[in-house]
Structure 1
Amino acid sequence: MMKALLLFVLVAAAAAWPSFDFESLEGYQGDDPSVPTLKKQEQVNKLLWKIYDNIKYPELKGYADSFNPVADTSMYSDGGKAVRRLDMEYKDHRLLEQHHWFSLFNARQRNESLMLFDVLMHCPKWDCFVKNAAYWRKKMNEGEFVYALYTAVIHNDVADGVLLPPLYEVTPHMFTNSEVIMQAYTAKMKHTPGKFKMSFTGTKKNKEQRVAYFGEDIGMNTHHVTWHMDFPFWWKDDYGYHLDRKGELFFWAHHQLTARFDSERLSNWLDPVDELHWDEPIVEGFAPHAMYKYGGEFPPRPDNVYFEDVDGVARVRDMLITETRIRDAIDHGYIVKKDGTKIDIMNDEGINILGNIVESSMYSPNIQYYGQLHNLAHIMLGRQGDPHGKYNMTPGVMEHFETATRDPSFFRLHKYMDNIFKKHKYSLPPYKREELEFPGIEVQSISVEGELRTYFEDYEFDLRNAVDSAEGIEEVELKAVVHRLNHREFSFVADVNNNNGGEVMSTFRIFMCPRYDNNELLFGAEKGHWYCIEMDKFWKKLSPGRNHVVRKSTESSVTVPDVPHFQTLIDKVESGGSFDMHEYERACGIPNRMLLPKGKWDGMEFALLLAVTDGSYDATHANPADTDHGGSHAHCSTHGDVYPDKRPMGYPIERRIDDRRIFDSVPNFKMNLVKVFHEEDEHHD
């Protein structure tokens, strides 16, 4: 086994594939659910390395060549129903061929990928899981396989503790421009290591280029695609559990992406993004400058294109009808279920139902009537370069969650849907004083320790999986260098008086809201609160009297650290011992280096708002201050569990504010003014 592995040699010793001998681990048995996490990690690494090549590792190659997935169906929790279905599709030659593009928005391709996901989800033991993964990796389209494996590792408890390598190092074509890919191929052919600078897609003639660093950030792309893996629109509770408040999470996570994008635009002297209109032109075109591994270039879209019907997908009038039905439901205050009964949405739960409807989730109570607004909109935007299939063009960037945020139309689309949600939120009454106050609690001050300062830095990621390999030929180091936003570390500092005479549990809710629009006009509370960005939410026990609370920016429940490099995971496995990287278990979350908006060189003013609310009422779990709830729970919930906060997401600023004096008069709320400074970088486009 180890001799065969030596064929896979990297340039430096640190880059060698792990050779730790797991077969000698005492007590290890292939069908034991207590398989060491290190062993599982090794196998997942090898399943995802060089995904377009044949498996070269003897153990997994043996499974791929000789395992019969339908020979013993007792290993599956469904008695083999899912695997027999997939096996029949394969034997009938109905599965998508390898070396072909894959899009989740293509219904047939998605169904094929979900067939494998279903098989893996019905594997209660790792032996079943890994043998099926290896077997079907050899048989199925690479994109379908990667998606199925990623989502199964996320959702199947048998893979607990396994970290998925960053997608931008597994399928680099989806995150890198064509020029860099071609440079990597040239370097590989010449057997010369290289680092290639990845520029953004436009030029300074395009004002949207000023904010390309946000939509094209590989960490932001990872957050977006991972969110949709954690909370997929196709999810059914038959897979094992219910995704709590999934529709509301769709609203809040995407609202926050849009609000953050608006703050970046204001940081760069641009107006907030305008919403998309089906009967008006798509003002901003987009040239992706990116290519598929197989299938050619991602298609561009010129400026000022009017929407056309997309053959076999949807007509423009269908989109308008769908929107009208949803808006009518908001005006009526109820949703009509498939059986004709009504669901009241004039309450805190209404946003969850609307989120499921707008996203086109399987949780929608009436898909036939309320349609598939979000999913079809992504396809409509992705196909406007070739709406009638005249040129047989590949799917556009909007038809992949990995690439969608690159296109400025993504934010126009989500501002459009955000305004539908806003219509619902504004149909609810403003919060009354008694719904906001926390008796006995007084926030004396909220401030920042350390300067709020952003800057750009260079970051490298691995391109070796972008190029083809040949057996016996050594790999060379190939890396892309990207310019990305970061900020200096800082802390939020609050002084809070607890006058209740005893310890109380509290919820700290921190927001930053831009103060001025692009014309330097002050945002009023009536409008400005919709542009607020959530910075953190956490629980804290308050002792009687004065409490001095310091919360580091690195602790934010909104953000996650960088996903460890693929090579880091390889090295970790090679080093042996235990495998515990708990801090990286979630890839869903805003990159922690992007917690702050860019700001301006001379300072951009924000209102810093702290609301301290009753944690004993808010929390869905006992002792909420004793856990991090999965790290990035604010936008990504706690994996496999209920959302930790009973309050509506965005509370207390997600409803309309008719009179700011109510907020000013509540002692458990406090506002301060802060500025975000940006260190100018002459290398930034």
Structure 2
Amino acid sequence: MKLLLLCALVAGASAWPNFGMMADSPGGASNAQKQHDVNSILWKVYEEIRDPHLKELSQSFDPLSGHYDDDGVAAKRLMKELNDHRLLEQKHWFSLFNTRQREEALMLYDVLEHSTDWETFAGNAAYFRVRMNEGEFVYAIYAAVIHSPLTEHVVLPPLYEVTPHLFTNSEVIQAAYKAKMTQTASKIKSHFTGSKSNPEQRVAYFGEDIGMNTHHVTWHLEFPFWWDDSHENHHINRKGESFFWVHHQLTVRFDAERLSNYLDPVDELHWDDMIHEGFAPHTMYKYGGYFPSRPDNVNFEDVDGVARVRDMLILESRIRDAIAHGYFTGRDGSVISIRDAHGIDILGDVIESSTYSPNPEYYGSLHNTAHVMLGRQGDPHGKFALPPGVLEHFETATRDPAFFRLHKYMDNIFREHKDSLTPYTKDDLEFSGISVDSLDISNRLETHFEDYEYSLINGVDDTVDVLDVPISTVVSRLTHNDFKVKIGITNSQNHEVLATVRIFAWPKYDNNHVEFSFNEGRWNAIELAKFWTKLNSGSNIIERSSKDFGVTVPDVPSFQTLMDMTDEALGSGSALHLEDYESGLGLPDRFLLPKGKTEGMDFHVVVFVSDGAKDAAVDGLHESTTYNHYGCHDGTYPDNQPHGYPLDRRVDDERIITGVSNFKAVDVKVYHVEDH
């Protein structure tokens, strides 16, 4: 698994020079060559392959002649499905939540994942690019590039420029088609869905942000619910817990944005209550029509072929019952305790449900089924043969405000479990001899909106006979000014120690300006940073730039920039340096801070310094950039402590945590500047 310092999906393009030259990575081809091939195979994915060698390879390569570590089993299976005409046709929508379509995408993923050299990987990619459904193909390529050892240093191009329809309003896509037909270079302004009469419009910039959408789909590609250890080369450590934590952070960040815009925190959905807020996506499939809308104030209905409402209530009841008892029941009737720090991992696997769930037949798949149930409420019985809703794609799910209501519902189930655990004691929290003396921020915390431009060239129909004209869209997006945190720490021990520094923040007041209790605040804490550092004996000043906080990632270069960089590296024979973008697990750098308010919004910022020697699950964390917040390249999680530690358990008496010397808290304001 390609999990480096929290970066993002990417790739590039050029010619296919001297196949075996510059073999600076596994598989018999240079990193630049691999980058080029992945770029080329994803460029204009609905049209003909433009790279001459890959185009020729798409006709001449025989998948059964490739080199595999599974004796070609996966390739034989996919070829049989193809030759028997059982695969989904091209020019048709694809959804990962459609069982058969997912199986087909994963057949290709298996072929690519089991390829042992680059000629086999690239040959299969070219061959199936022209024969498989485009959506299935893109998903399989992205998953394989992320997980295959052959593509460890390949950066995937930004998905919003590969399949723009899933990220861009239909009005903009239609304008792009007009620009293409008239051969008029165009830069089209994007607007968020809804109107000022809809209060949810105030936070549309968060759920509809292309970086947010990319973050969500990337996380689910890195930690897929279909991951099966028996077919892969490693176990993904703490996958269920990470599922809880990434969605918990999305939920609390969304609430902070709502408070920034004078809205109450989001309410959870209930299966036996109506869905109060409707949603009109204003998006369309490349092929298959528009995404369905949902009116206001509709009650959940049974969805034919998916689940009944009462089924969801039963699954929820079984899970809550397991939390109350403190254990799940395995397939074999075994008792699996969750009354410890690792219980959250099991609970996350159950709720999602992933293949790691100990008993999916009994506890079901609450999260995955819920996405389909909610996504289909516009046409629950298939009366109008509508395509899947936005909740049935990880790329589009966060566009619907009901996504956050759905995850608030599941987050509250997770909280039931976390609150059932014994709170940390003073002995659990103390780091003997370590005192946090000060916490300072270098400058006023300010956010503002900026314009961002991305290409729509891959969103319109094309032909080799018509030259491209520049077609792009400009969207407004939230960002913030850079800042630094300076922490003064005294180490009273007579030797150097390794320390873990954790920084969190939560809104100080609710929408009625009532101060949150410490226990409520800590559950709504936004994780800002976690890093390891060495503390010398005596006084230490630790400075950290917001650019290096580790829970966010920079923007991936545009598709065209990636292609240009790759062309240059191939042409000059130089190394291609894309290290900063090799993993995309974090939120966009721009979203580190909530929007805040023009008059300033109060946040409670806390820093907690713990024993790095006890926390560290791998060596060298204070100097390593080869891990990220969610894990190392082999699936190992680098921190022995739970996600959110020490704020993950209930706090009955805040003095137990605020009273230890290795804890420090300050209040700050976040200002939003309207005209930057």
TM-score with structure 2 length normalisation?
0.96
2:381 matched to 1:396?
no
What does residue 57 of structure 2 align with?
63
2:156 matched to 1:164?
yes
Assess if the C-alpha contact under 8 Å between 1:247 and 1:354 holds in 2: yes
How many angstroms does 1:32 deviate by?
Answer: 7.3
What does residue 130 of structure 1 align with?
122
Question: CA–CA distance in 2 between the matches of 1:345 and 1:192?
Answer: 61
Q: How does 1:286-685 map to 2 (within 5 A)?
A: 286-576=279-569, 577-630=574-627, 633-634=628-629, 636-681=630-675
Assess if the C-alpha contact under 8 Å between 1:360 and 1:367 holds in 2: yes
What does residue 8 of structure 2 align with?
none
Which secondary structure state, in structure 2, belongs to the residue aligned with residue 575 of structure 1? helix
* AA partner of residue 17 (structure 2): F
How many angstroms does 1:241 deviate by?
Answer: 1.1
Assess if the C-alpha contact under 8 Å between 2:16 and 2:33 holds in 1: no
* AA partner of residue 609 (structure 1): V
How many angstroms does 1:27 deviate by?
Answer: 6.3
Assess if the C-alpha contact under 8 Å between 2:418 and 2:648 holds in 1: yes
Question: CA–CA distance in 2 between the matches of 1:37 and 1:407?
Answer: 38
**1:262-287 CA distance string (max 9 Å, x none):** 00000000000011100001111000
Question: CA–CA distance in 1 between the matches of 2:16 and 2:101?
Answer: 37
Assess if the C-alpha contact under 8 Å between 2:91 and 2:133 holds in 1: yes
- Give the direction of change, closer, same or farther, for the CA distance of 1:430–1:629 in structure 2 (3 Å limit): farther
Which secondary structure state, in structure 2, belongs to the residue aligned with residue 22 of structure 1? coil
Question: CA–CA distance in 1 between the matches of 2:170 and 2:476?
Answer: 17
What does residue 13 of structure 1 align with?
none
How many angstroms does 1:20 deviate by?
Answer: 5.3
* AA partner of residue 330 (structure 2): K
2:226 matched to 1:231?
no
In the alignment, structure 1 segments of 5+ residues that lack a partner are 1-16
Question: CA–CA distance in 2 between the matches of 1:80 and 1:262?
Answer: 49
What does residue 5 of structure 1 align with?
none
Assess if the C-alpha contact under 8 Å between 2:69 and 2:114 holds in 1: yes
How many angstroms does 1:57 deviate by?
Answer: 2.0
Assess if the C-alpha contact under 8 Å between 1:262 and 1:273 holds in 2: yes
Q: How many residues align?
A: 660
2:43 matched to 1:46?
no
Which secondary structure state, in structure 2, belongs to the residue aligned with residue 239 of structure 1? coil
CA RMSD of aligned residues (A): 1.4
Assess if the C-alpha contact under 8 Å between 1:118 and 1:239 holds in 2: no
What does residue 10 of structure 1 align with?
none
How many angstroms does 1:622 deviate by?
Answer: 1.4
TM-score with structure 1 length normalisation?
0.95
Assess if the C-alpha contact under 8 Å between 1:20 and 1:575 holds in 2: no
Which secondary structure state, in structure 1, belongs to the residue aligned with residue 529 of structure 2? strand
Which secondary structure state, in structure 1, belongs to the residue aligned with residue 298 of structure 2? coil
2:222 matched to 1:218?
no
Out of 272, 275, 279, the residue aligned to residue 279 of structure 1 is 272
How many angstroms does 1:129 deviate by?
Answer: 0.5
How many angstroms does 1:448 deviate by?
Answer: 0.8
How many angstroms does 1:24 deviate by?
Answer: 7.8
**1:511-554 CA distance string (max 9 Å, x none):** 00110000000100121211110000000100011100111000
Which secondary structure state, in structure 2, belongs to the residue aligned with residue 461 of structure 1? strand
- Give the direction of change, closer, same or farther, for the CA distance of 1:423–1:27 in structure 2 (3 Å limit): closer
How many angstroms does 1:645 deviate by?
Answer: 0.5
How many angstroms does 1:19 deviate by?
Answer: 4.9
Bigger RCO (CA 8 Å, 6+ sep) = 2
Question: CA–CA distance in 2 between the matches of 1:230 and 1:387?
Answer: 31
Aligned-residue sequence identity (percent) comes to 57
Which secondary structure state, in structure 1, belongs to the residue aligned with residue 130 of structure 2? helix
How many angstroms does 1:125 deviate by?
Answer: 1.0
How many angstroms does 1:160 deviate by?
Answer: 1.3
Which secondary structure state, in structure 1, belongs to the residue aligned with residue 237 of structure 2? coil
How many angstroms does 1:680 deviate by?
Answer: 1.5
Question: CA–CA distance in 1 between the matches of 2:252 and 2:186?
Answer: 38
What does residue 5 of structure 2 align with?
none
**1:428-457 CA distance string (max 9 Å, x none):** 011000110100000001121111100000
Which secondary structure state, in structure 1, belongs to the residue aligned with residue 596 of structure 2? coil
* AA partner of residue 396 (structure 2): T
What does residue 190 of structure 1 align with?
182
What does residue 111 of structure 1 align with?
103
Question: CA–CA distance in 1 between the matches of 2:306 and 2:565?
Answer: 46
Assess if the C-alpha contact under 8 Å between 2:14 and 2:36 holds in 1: no
Question: CA–CA distance in 1 between the matches of 2:352 and 2:109?
Answer: 21
What does residue 140 of structure 1 align with?
132
**1:332-355 CA distance string (max 9 Å, x none):** 001100000011100001000000
Assess if the C-alpha contact under 8 Å between 2:165 and 2:459 holds in 1: yes
How many angstroms does 1:26 deviate by?
Answer: 4.4
Assess if the C-alpha contact under 8 Å between 1:454 and 1:485 holds in 2: yes
In the alignment, structure 2 segments of 5+ residues that lack a partner are 1-11
- Give the direction of change, closer, same or farther, for the CA distance of 1:233–1:280 in structure 2 (3 Å limit): same
How many angstroms does 1:25 deviate by?
Answer: 7.1
Which secondary structure state, in structure 1, belongs to the residue aligned with residue 312 of structure 2? helix
* AA partner of residue 605 (structure 1): D
- Give the direction of change, closer, same or farther, for the CA distance of 1:26–1:81 in structure 2 (3 Å limit): closer
* AA partner of residue 548 (structure 1): I
What does residue 18 of structure 2 align with?
23
Question: CA–CA distance in 2 between the matches of 1:69 and 1:19?
Answer: 24
Larger displacement relative to structure 2 (464-473 or 412-421): 464-473
Question: CA–CA distance in 1 between the matches of 2:18 and 2:114?
Answer: 25
Which secondary structure state, in structure 2, belongs to the residue aligned with residue 625 of structure 1? coil
Assess if the C-alpha contact under 8 Å between 2:478 and 2:590 holds in 1: yes
How many angstroms does 1:637 deviate by?
Answer: 2.5
Question: CA–CA distance in 2 between the matches of 1:26 and 1:186?
Answer: 43
How many angstroms does 1:319 deviate by?
Answer: 0.3
**1:377-427 CA distance string (max 9 Å, x none):** 000011000000000001000000000000011000100000000000000
2:199 matched to 1:202?
no
How many angstroms does 1:34 deviate by?
Answer: 3.6
Which secondary structure state, in structure 2, belongs to the residue aligned with residue 570 of structure 1? helix
Question: CA–CA distance in 2 between the matches of 1:516 and 1:18?
Answer: 50
* AA partner of residue 520 (structure 1): H
What does residue 12 of structure 1 align with?
none
Question: CA–CA distance in 2 between the matches of 1:432 and 1:25?
Answer: 59
Assess if the C-alpha contact under 8 Å between 2:13 and 2:562 holds in 1: no
Question: CA–CA distance in 1 between the matches of 2:428 and 2:613?
Answer: 14
Larger displacement relative to structure 2 (581-590 or 210-219): 581-590
